Amino acid sequence: MGKFLTFLFIVFIGALGYFALLNRDQVAIIVAQGHAYEIPKVALVLISSAIGALLMLFVFVVRDTRRFIFTVRMQKKAKKEDKIKNLYEKALDAYFAEEMDDSRVILEQVLNEDPDYIKAILKLGDIAYSRGDYKAAYEYYSRADSIDPDRIATLFALVKVKTAAGEYADALAYVDEILDDNEGNMRALNTKRNLLDSMDRWDDLVYLQKKIIKKKQTENEKEQEQKRLVGYQYEYGRHSLESGELEKAQKAFRAVLKLDGNFVPAHLGLAEVMYREENTEDAINYLENIYGQTLSLIVLARLEDLLIATGEPSRLIRIYKNSLADEPSNNTLKLFLGKLYHRLEMLDDAIEILEDVDSAAIYPEIAKIMGNIYLKRKQPEKAAEEFRKAVDMKTAFRMPYCCSNCGFFSVDWSGRCPSCKEWDTFRFDIFASCKFRKD
């Protein structure tokens, strides 16, 4: 490269010398009005070349200086980024080791290096959230959101902390913000569903659930979501019933039964609508018909309440006897009939039917064992009291209920289990199934 430049320089000097021999005339250069200078043409060429060379040199110096400054800045930036990365990784190690104080201190060091480092801000929010300091967590998440408002992870973090604080309306607003950008975000849709459930906004839930069903791909997924739709429509009917909006409740329960004809809570709800409309006979006939179709003891218990309230126990006894004629060895029906006889003070009939019950197959064992203990200790009164606890037949609905899905125990019936949130799972706890599930 050096030889080539030397060669070019020699060629340039030679060409310049030849140009000087051919152009010996003077050239007038006017620098101002009344001021002119005469110089050889070759001098003009040399001056022009020098000026051009200086300009090129200046351009190269500026370019190289800018490159140098850029390189230095990039090196500093890379060094700073490496430092921040190492600090953040160290903070994560402490976080996952549940050393929250150490993690928080290191994360604050990260922010001293870069106040807008979103990952560190979000992690500080997570630490505050894990300690139940929702106010501080919200401040961190909001700070991250102000730096990058389009970051979905930040919006979900805001949803999380607002939900934990019980501020469902604010959480819902953040979810809607996510869905405005991506209406098919399934995580956001499921989160919105949970929020609407917590807010008892059943009408909105029904609409949202239909939207979710359309986005499911497999038949199994659609079937599971369809069950949720049935439950939400039932809840809308139940809420309308409790609010005294009987017409809305009736429409909702009928809509549920179109989707699932064996959904017992909707049948009970529809009968309740009839009862509140003072169509008691229609409610009784309806429940009797549904019991014949489903053989549900829950339906039978409600039917018993209505018939006794209207003074028609004989009709109820006939229903029990007809059922026992079809299933003479059904201990459950015998137990219910015995409870009814006891409730009606028909004690001889109660003793007769209960003596025919295989108690070992039905009753919990605890009271029997305690009774035997008291007998051996010569305490017959306490033994009788314990045996009496085995079957409490004072009222139709005193027998406890059990969720067939999760084993949750309750003394009151509900169309939805408060523990697992599934619908139509409450059964009478005749066989102590709740106890077995818990064990």
Find the Cα–Cα–Cα–Cα dihedral 7, 13, 19, 23, rounded to 10°: 180
Residue 270 pLDDT exceeds 90: yes
Q: Is the pTM of this model over 0.85?
A: no
**Domain ranges in the chain?**
14-61, 79-164, 217-295, 364-389
- Please state the rounded mean pLDDT for residues 80-84: 85
How far lies 259's CA from each of 217, 223, 233, in Å? 20, 11, 10
Burial of 10 (0-12, 13-18, 19+ CB in 10 A): exposed
Give how far Cα 294 sits from Cα of 100, 283, 333, Å.
56, 16, 14
- Quote the CA–CA distance of 239 and 257 in Å, as a whole number: 17
**Same fold for the domain at 79-164 and the one at 217-295?**
yes
pLDDT, position 157: 94
| 224-263 residue pLDDT tens | 999 999 999 999 999 999 999 999 999 999 999 999 999 9
**135-143, long-range: CB < 8 A, 24+ apart:** 137/161, 138/162, 138/165
pLDDT of residue 367: 47
Task: Decide: 76 and 99 in contact? Cβ < 8 Å.
Answer: no
Residue 47 makes CB contacts below 8 A (sequence gap 6+) with: 39
What is the per-residue pLDDT for 434?
62
Given this model, what pLDDT does residue 23 score?
A: 64
Confidence of residue 29 (pLDDT cuts 50, 70, 90): low
Instruction: Output the pLDDT for position 58.
Output: 86
For residue 288 the two structure tokens come to 């009797």
Diameter over CA atoms, the chain = 150
Percentage above 70 pLDDT, the chain: 78
Buried b (16+ CB within 10 A) or exposed e, 237-255: bbbbbeeeeeebbbbbbeb
Class at the top of the CATH hierarchy for domain 79-164? mainly alpha
Q: What is the mean pLDDT of residues 354-366?
A: 54
- Asked whether the predicted pLDDT for residue 268 surpasses 80, the reply is yes
The Cα–Cα gap between 379 and 383 comes to 6
* pLDDT tens track for 39-48: 676 666 777 7
How many CA atoms lie less than 13 Å away from 227 in the CB half-sphere? 12
Share of the chain above pLDDT 90, in %: 43
Does 31 have pLDDT greater than 90? no
What is the C-alpha radius of gyration for the chain, rounded to an integer number of angstroms? 43
Residues 314-331 have pLDDT tens digits of: 888 898 888 888 888 887
pLDDT score at 35: 67
pLDDT digits (tens, 9 = 90+) for 274-291: 999 989 999 999 999 999
Classified by CATH at the fold level, domain 217-295 comes out as 1.25.40
- Upper half-sphere CA count for residue 216 (Cβ side, 13 Å): 15
